[in-house]
């Protein structure tokens, strides 16, 4: 229910000969029919409603009926027609500085004014010191009020009035009190009261004040209600326009108000050529490409940051890979050059270490691994050892991951370095996983410990966030916007949509939910400079609950952006997590069932006009970073050729 309801209020004001005339004059004029009382409507059919916590700004030129309306609301006047209904107590602060008694002291006036405002004596006793402190009149407490300067008077008036704790607070030009410093203080105080839940009505000739503070605006002109609503900026704009045009007539005001609302530029339909949903790599690259081709692009992301899963966050001068380790590697010179336009990549090489129950092995499986495992020294010996183990297993055509792994690296390595880790990673036995996953595990008979077999590799200095920000420079981005929840509204803004979210979610999971693999991270800041001496250490036994620990500082060789040492370190324990709908999806599960379901969704997507589905989630496809960038570049080129 509304706190204040003003319904169709009209107030007839009287003016004319009756003021300050004596009885003789009155009788004479009555007798000669010369007695004129002009009645006019100070307010006509004013209707508005306020809820708890609302802040209403009343605007209008002089004589618009603002103060009269306030008098009706505060009960000083009665509306001639209509009704004012309010719930709760009202404190009206109208023309503050008047109404004091010049002969009484500041202290006495404070009490008298407080009493008028409805405070109790007890409350005043409690707050008196605060009032004096706020008004900065400590040395004047026992001086007669008339000795104060006008600024001091206003300050005192405001300070007393601002102790109110009303349900409805009426402020008539009271915020423009005192000097600059005090004005600032008083505005802060007012905001405090308002934030305390009071419903506030503010009459102000400062449009800026109304724009900044109010959530509703009532525009009165010559007693008539020109506009009322929550679109404060627009109503203020109209009023400004009315003032600018210089014709102070009711008709002019109504004229201005009846003009169709110009659609703000950014909301005009088709303003954007592309609405990109998701500010991850795919979206950012596409947006950059589109903007570079002169298209207008709006990027929205439901997360509060850009970058999607490559987002890095700075903690203790360390760029923390929030959604897991990302090491950029590619063979595609085009992509490598492309990303280096936006960030400087360092020479980081991925050389993870495996920790199997305290035994440390090199990953990928290279001569160091084999030497540690079997004591072999030459590549020939290593190859012989692997061959022996493979032959012993007798696998010719691997049917699952376990067989595939054994056929690649033999049983020892499989048992110690592959089995436990992979099972933790996928949450199911290796014998039930498809063989192709492990094809990606490089095995080499060299001492090269570079995990990736890639021409170009590195991590952007300053983290991936800097890379994505570089891509999105000059592109409008709205974060924290859930496209799926505001679909109609957002669709209306752009000609075309580039959707990089989960494809099944786009269709409301109408064919069923696609499955994902998810990760969980436990990140902590440690008060030591070096926790594990490597960016990633995989825990390959089945019993350690986490799959690996990432020590983020080593992506940048333990240095901050300026090359300085960092006394602390940040580590993230990575866990594989059973994915449930609603969790962050990390990797698509490309098994038969999900692939088939995706195919159905892809067919639906093909029918969606003006929507491009892209990226890891939009295409339900495992993309490395370079691949997703390449895909976005290709798509952009195809789209905008």
Partner 1 sequence: MVQKLIRYRFLFEELVKRDFKQKYKRTVLGMWWSLLSPLLQLLVMALVFTRLFGRTTPHYTIYLFCGNLVFSFYSDATKGGMNTIMGNASIFTKVNVPKYLFLLSKNVQALINFLLILLVFFLFVAFDGLPFTWKFACLLYPVFCLILFNIGVGMVLSALYVFFRDVQYLYDVFTLLLMYMSAIFYNIDGYPATVQNLFLINPVYLFIRYFRKIVIEATIPSVWFHLLMLADAAVVLALGCWMYKKYNTKFLYYV
List contacts with partner 1 (CB under 8 A): 13-15, 18-24, 26, 71, 74-78, 90, 92, 94-95, 98-99, 101, 103-104, 108, 111-112, 115-121
Query: Which is nearest to 549 in space by CA: 294, 411, 339, 353?
Result: 353
Q: How far is the CB of 99 from partner 1 (least distance, A)?
A: 4
Which is nearer to partner 1, 19 or 347 (by Cβ)? Answer: 19
Q: How far is the CB of 96 from partner 1 (least distance, A)?
A: 8
Residues β-bridged to residue 199: 168
Q: Are the beta carbons of 445 and 379 closer than 8 angstroms? A: yes
**DSSP codes joined into one string, 89-135:** -EEEEESTTSS--TTSBHHHHHHHHHHHTT--HHHHHHHHHHHHHHH
Cα 82 to chain center, whole Å? 44
- Active-site annotation holds for 95: no
Among 20, 142, 208, 440, which one carries the catalytic annotation?
Answer: 440
Distance CA 109, CA 529 (A): 65
Q: Judge residue 277's burial from the number of C-beta atoms within 10 Å of its C-beta, 0-12 exposed, 13-18 middle, 19 or more buried.
A: buried
Which is nearer to partner 1, 18 or 622 (by Cβ)? Answer: 18
Among 476, 560, 624, 639, which one carries the catalytic annotation?
Answer: 624
Residues β-bridged to residue 611: 497
Which is nearer to partner 1, 160 or 628 (by Cβ)? Answer: 160
Which is nearer to partner 1, 76 or 603 (by Cβ)? Answer: 76
Which is nearer to partner 1, 17 or 415 (by Cβ)? Answer: 17
Cα 386 to chain center, whole Å? 54
Which is nearer to partner 1, 71 or 424 (by Cβ)? Answer: 71
Q: How far is the CB of 104 from partner 1 (least distance, A)?
A: 6
Q: How far is the CB of 100 from partner 1 (least distance, A)?
A: 8
Among 504, 574, 619, 626, which one carries the catalytic annotation?
Answer: 574
Count helices and strands in the chain by DSSP H and E runs: 21, 25
Q: How far is the CB of 197 from partner 1 (least distance, A)?
A: 22
- Active-site annotation holds for 622: yes
Q: How far is the CB of 472 from partner 1 (least distance, A)?
A: 55
Angle of helix 333-340 versus helix 625-639 axis, rounded to 10: 90
Distance CA 535, CA 635 (A): 34
Query: Which is nearest to 613 in space by CA: 504, 511, 515?
Result: 504
- DSSP character at residue 147: G
Q: How far is the CB of 11 from partner 1 (least distance, A)?
A: 10
Distance CA 405, CA 437 (A): 10
Which is nearer to partner 1, 26 or 447 (by Cβ)? Answer: 26
- Active-site annotation holds for 548: yes
Q: How far is the CB of 584 from partner 1 (least distance, A)?
A: 58
Among 517, 586, 601, 623, which one carries the catalytic annotation?
Answer: 517
- Active-site annotation holds for 574: yes
- Plot region of 512 (φ>0 → left; ψ -120 to 50 → alpha; else → beta): left
Q: How far is the CB of 92 from partner 1 (least distance, A)?
A: 7
CB atoms within 10 A of CB 479: 13
Which is nearer to partner 1, 20 or 543 (by Cβ)? Answer: 20
Among 390, 444, 520, 573, which one carries the catalytic annotation?
Answer: 444
Query: CA torsion sign, 339 to 340 to 346 to 350?
Result: positive
Phi first, then psi, for residue 525 (nearest 5°) are: -95, 125
Among 548, 587, 620, 626, which one carries the catalytic annotation?
Answer: 548
CB atoms within 10 A of CB 60: 23
- Active-site annotation holds for 624: yes
Q: Are the beta carbons of 429 and 461 closer than 8 angstroms? A: no
Distance CA 283, CA 339 (A): 14
Which is nearer to partner 1, 120 or 266 (by Cβ)? Answer: 120
Report the SS3 class of residue 219: strand
Which is nearer to partner 1, 167 or 415 (by Cβ)? Answer: 167
Angle of helix 379-393 versus helix 367-374 axis, rounded to 10: 70
Cα 445 to chain center, whole Å? 51
Q: Are the beta carbons of 271 and 260 closer than 8 angstroms? A: no
Distance CA 163, CA 190 (A): 10
Which is nearer to partner 1, 60 or 79 (by Cβ)? Answer: 79
Distance CA 456, CA 271 (A): 39
Q: What is the 3-state secondary structure (H, E, C) of 230-283?
A: CCHHHHHHHHHHHHHHCCCCHHHHHHHHHCCCCCCHHHCCCCEEEEEECCCHHH
Active centre residues (catalytic): 440, 444, 517, 548, 574, 622, 624
């Amino acid at each position: 229910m509304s706190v204040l309801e003003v319904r169709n209020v009209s107030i007839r004001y009287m003016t004319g000969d009756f003021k300050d005339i004596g009885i003789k004059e009155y009788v004479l004029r009555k007798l000669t029919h010369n007695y004129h009382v002009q009645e006019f409507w100070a307010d006509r059919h004013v209707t508005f409603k306020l809820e708890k916590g609302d802040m209403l700004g009343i605007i209008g030129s002089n004589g618009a009926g603002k103060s009269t309306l306030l008098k009706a609301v505060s009960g000083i006047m009665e509306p001639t027609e209509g009704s004012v209904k309010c719930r709760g107590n009202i404190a009206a602060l109208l023309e503050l500085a008047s109404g004091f008694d010049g002969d009484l002291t500041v202290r006495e006036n404070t009490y008298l004014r407080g009493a008028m405002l409805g405070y109790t004596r007890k409350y005043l006793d409690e707050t008196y010191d605060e009032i004096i402190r706020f008004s900065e009149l400590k040395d004047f407490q026992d001086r007669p009020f008339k000795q104060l300067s006008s600024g001091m008077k206003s300050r005192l008036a405001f300070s007393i009035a601002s102790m109110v704790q009303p349900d409805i607070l009426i402020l008539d030009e009271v915020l423009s009190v005192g000097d600059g410093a005090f004005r600032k203080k008083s505005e802060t105080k007012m905001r405090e009261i308002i934030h305390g839940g009071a419903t506030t009505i503010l009459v102000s000739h400062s449009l800026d004040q109304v724009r900044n503070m109010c959530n509703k605006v009532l525009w009165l002109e010559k007693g008539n209600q020109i506009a009322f609503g929550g679109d404060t900026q627009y109503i203020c704009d109209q009023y400004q326009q009315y003032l600018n045009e210089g014709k102070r007539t009711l008709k002019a005001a109504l004229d201005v108000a009846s003009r169709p609302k110009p659609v703000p530029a950014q909301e005009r339909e088709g303003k954007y050529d592309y609405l990109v949903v998701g500010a991850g790599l795919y979206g950012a690259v596409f947006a950059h490409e589109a903007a570079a081709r002169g298209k207008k692009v709006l990027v929205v992301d439901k997360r509060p940051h850009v970058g999607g899963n490559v987002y890095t966050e700075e903690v203790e001068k360390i760029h923390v890979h929030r959604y897991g380790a990302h090491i950029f590697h590619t063979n595609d010179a085009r992509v490598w050059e492309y990303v280096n336009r936006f960030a400087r990549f360092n020479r980081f090489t991925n050389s993870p270490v495996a920790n199997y129950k305290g035994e440390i092995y090199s990953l990928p499986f290279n001569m160091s691994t084999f030497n540690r495992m079997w004591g072999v020294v030459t590549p020939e010996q290593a190859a012989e050892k692997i061959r022996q183990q493979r032959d012993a297993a007798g696998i010719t055509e691997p049917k699952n991951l376990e067989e595939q792994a054994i056929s690649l690296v033999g049983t020892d390595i499989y048992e110690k370095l592959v089995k436990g880790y992979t099972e933790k990673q996928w949450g199911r036995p290796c014998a039930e996983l498809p063989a192709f996953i492990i094809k990606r595990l490089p095995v080499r008979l060299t001492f090269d410990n570079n995990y990736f077999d890639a021409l170009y590799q590195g991590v952007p200095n300053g983290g991936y966030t800097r890379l994505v920000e570089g891509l999105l420079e000059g592109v409008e981005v709205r974060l924290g916007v859930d496209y799926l929840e505001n679909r109609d509204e957002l669709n209306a803004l752009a000609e075309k949509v580039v959707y990089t979210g989960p494809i099944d979610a786009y269709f409301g999971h109408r064919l069923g939910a696609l499955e994902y693999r998810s990760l969980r991270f436990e990140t902590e800041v440690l008060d030591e400079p070096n926790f594990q001496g490597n960016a990633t250490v995989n825990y390959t036994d089945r019993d350690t609950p986490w799959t690996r620990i990432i020590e983020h500082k080593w992506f940048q060789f333990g240095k901050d952006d300026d090359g300085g040492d960092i006394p602390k370190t940040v580590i993230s324990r990575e866990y594989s997590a059973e994915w449930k709908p609603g969790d962050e999806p990390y990797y698509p599960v490309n098994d038969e069932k999900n692939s088939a379901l995706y195919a159905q969704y892809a067919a639906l997507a093909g029918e969606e006009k003006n929507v491009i589905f892209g990226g890891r989630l939009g295409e339900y496809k495992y993309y490395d970073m370079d691949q997703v960038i390449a895909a976005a570049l290709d798509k952009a080129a195809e789209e905008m050729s």
